Structure 1
Amino acid sequence: MAKVKYYYDENTLSYRKIAVKKSDKYRKVIFSFLGVVLIAFFGFIGFSQILMSPSERAQKRELENLKFHYELIEKRLEESSSILSQLQERDNNIYRSYFEANPIPEEQRKAGFGGVNRYKNLEGFDNSDLITKLTKEVDILSKQMVVQSKSLDEIVELAKEKKKMLAAIPAILPVKRGDFYVASGYKMRMHPILKINKFHKGMDFTAPKGTPVYASGDGKIHRAQRSSTFGNVIYIDHGYGYKTIYAHLSKMVVKRRQEVKRGDLIGYVGNTGLSVAPHLHYEVHKNDRAVNPINFYYGDLSLDEFANLQKTSEESQSYD
């Protein structure tokens, strides 16, 4: 039986019953029920922790530790993949472009692993999906790194070859500036001796007999001989399709098969062969075709000097 509660009324000088509202009764019941549920829930958790054996608690800690390390590895893989992607982009768009090498196709860089199921041995475990996913990511990243490593090895070899090629291209004047007076150019003209219109395949540098003549690029002496037309003449094979000819020399100081560097002395200006005055006849050939030598003096001339040489070569008469 519920207790009846009273209060003292000072106005009537008597005790009166305390009336309990129904809403208060319901609220009290609800709060009591919730209290019991919460006590039971936290009691169950505490009880379950108490019931766990030491090995189960250790296993739980191990799983939490493995989850933490898995997330850490995932993050590092994402960072490594991002760095590799930047390197791949520079490789295709800068390095390989500079050395005129074809870019590596995206399909080749990003290719996965086909064929048999190489991850079958990872199936059947509680966390097989996570382990398989992580292993695949590591394998793909490893393959991309191998492809990139081979590409960089190729770039190194291309750089070495590019350096050799740049040194081989005939890029300087065969006679030093100030040692020659006028240079006649690559053009159609009247031959001064044969008196016929004939294309002049090189440039003539008029200079005193005995003026030094230099190799315009690295290469090997292909021929150093006497010719009825060119007189004493030297042919240098520079490789990469480039050859140069130095004609009408008074003296040659190199021999066949001798290797020379750009700027090496190879002979002296003369007046041998079909020549009307001491000068050097100089030709540049690319893939067995004569080209205008004036386009190959970028290692020696400023823009003003180039413009002046071009003007005089067009106006002057050849000497052979």
Structure 2
Amino acid sequence: MNLIATPSPHCGNSQRRIISCRFAAPLLIVLALLFQPAPAACGEKEPVAKKTAEGLLTTTEEMIENLILQIDNQNAHTPERIELADISNPTPFSESIPSIRPLNGPISSEFGMRVHPIRRTTLFHAGVDISVSSGTKVLATGDGVVSFAGWEGGYGQKVTITHGYGFRTTYAHLSKAIVRAGQRIHRGDIIALSGNTGMSTGPHLHYEVMKNGVHVNPVAYFDGSPEKMMTDKNDPEKTDNNS
């Protein structure tokens, strides 16, 4: 429809201009609203790009990049765990049994009942503490599959290996886990670096051995005395398991 095309032939030029302006003005208003930036037209706050002085992000690309960094940071602190009741004994028993020391160093706290160094109460210590400096290489004590690698409470950074034949070992207070959950490893492989994370009073490795779901004395596998594996101190109700 022509908005300004049908004035009377008797109308002068001034009348034509009045008619033209009467219909053109609303059209200009509509166009102005359509092309005005949405935040201003809708009464919202100014675009983010105008508020850099307040430390806000300036572009959509930066917002997306920031979200990706947040996700990566969260993933870096998320432990990797594979729930394995046991592995199907893929290697001979002699290779799966945790029969070596995870690292060399003096035992600073033995397996069994003790006064917890932080809680100051008598609790069961489910492993042994081996005193070493942070960053010492930690070895897998038998063939198996990594079933956990990450942070867990008082243990700090820890690695758990399921070996088969009912054996499971835990290495705690690490500064860094080198392996990933699901990774198959062999005795003597470097799996982590020792540290002082979690509930710990100083750099050391907390090392545990479980047999068929029961904590046993790891030292039994160090000195060839299997009779030490099962004692009346095994798995009482209260355990510290953290240092």
TM bucket by the smaller chain? 0.5 to 0.7
Counterpart in the other structure of 1:253: 178
Q: Does 1:171 align with 2:99?
A: yes
Give matches, 1:95-174, under 5 Å. Answer: 164-174=92-102
- The CA RMSD measured in Å over matched residues stands at 2.2
Contact 2:148 2:161 in 1 (8 A): yes
Q: Does 1:194 align with 2:119?
A: yes
Runs of 4+ in 1 over 4 A off after TM superposition: none
Counterpart in the other structure of 1:231: 156
Please report how far the alpha carbon of residue 182 of structure 1 lies from its aligned counterpart in structure 2 after TM superposition.
Answer: 3.5
Paired residue secondary structure (2:118):
coil
The number of equivalent residue pairs is 140
Q: TM-score, normalising length from structure 2?
A: 0.54
Q: Kindly provide the amino acid, as one letter, of the partner of residue 180 in structure 2.
A: K
Q: Does 1:241 align with 2:169?
A: no
Greater relative contact order, per chain length (Cα 8 Å cut-off, separation 6+): 2
What is the CA deviation profile of residues 29-62 of structure 1, one whole-angstrom value per residue up to 9, with x for unaligned ones? xxxxxxxxxxxxxxxxxxxxxxxxxxxxxxxxxx
Q: Kindly provide the amino acid, as one letter, of the partner of residue 199 in structure 1.
A: F
Distance change (3 Å), C-alpha of 1:164 and 1:207? same
| Identical amino acids, percent of aligned pairs | 42
Q: Kindly provide the amino acid, as one letter, of the partner of residue 249 in structure 1.
A: L
Is there any run of 5+ residues in structure 1 with no aligned partner, and where? 1-160, 302-317
Distance change (3 Å), C-alpha of 1:164 and 1:187? same
Larger helix share, 1 or 2: 1
Give matches, 1:297-308, under 5 Å. Answer: 297-298=222-223
Please report how far the alpha carbon of residue 298 of structure 1 lies from its aligned counterpart in structure 2 after TM superposition.
Answer: 4.6
Counterpart in the other structure of 2:214: 289
Alpha-carbon separation, structure 2, partners of 1:230 and 1:162: 29
Q: Does 1:274 align with 2:199?
A: yes
Please report how far the alpha carbon of residue 289 of structure 1 lies from its aligned counterpart in structure 2 after TM superposition.
Answer: 0.5
Counterpart in the other structure of 1:211: 136
Alpha-carbon separation, structure 2, partners of 1:162 and 1:211: 29
Distance change (3 Å), C-alpha of 1:185 and 1:297? same
Aligned counterpart for 1:222 among listed residues 130, 143, 147? 147
Q: Kindly provide the amino acid, as one letter, of the partner of residue 94 in structure 2.
A: L
Distance change (3 Å), C-alpha of 1:219 and 1:276? same
Contact 1:219 1:259 in 2 (8 A): yes
Q: Kindly provide the amino acid, as one letter, of the partner of residue 244 in structure 1.
A: T
Contact 1:192 1:319 in 2 (8 A): no
Larger strand share, 1 or 2: 2
Query: Which of the two has higher C-alpha Rg?
Result: 1
Give matches, 1:79-94, under 5 Å. Answer: none
Is there any run of 5+ residues in structure 2 with no aligned partner, and where? 1-88, 226-240
Contact 1:172 1:298 in 2 (8 A): no
Q: Kindly provide the amino acid, as one letter, of the partner of residue 172 in structure 1.
A: I
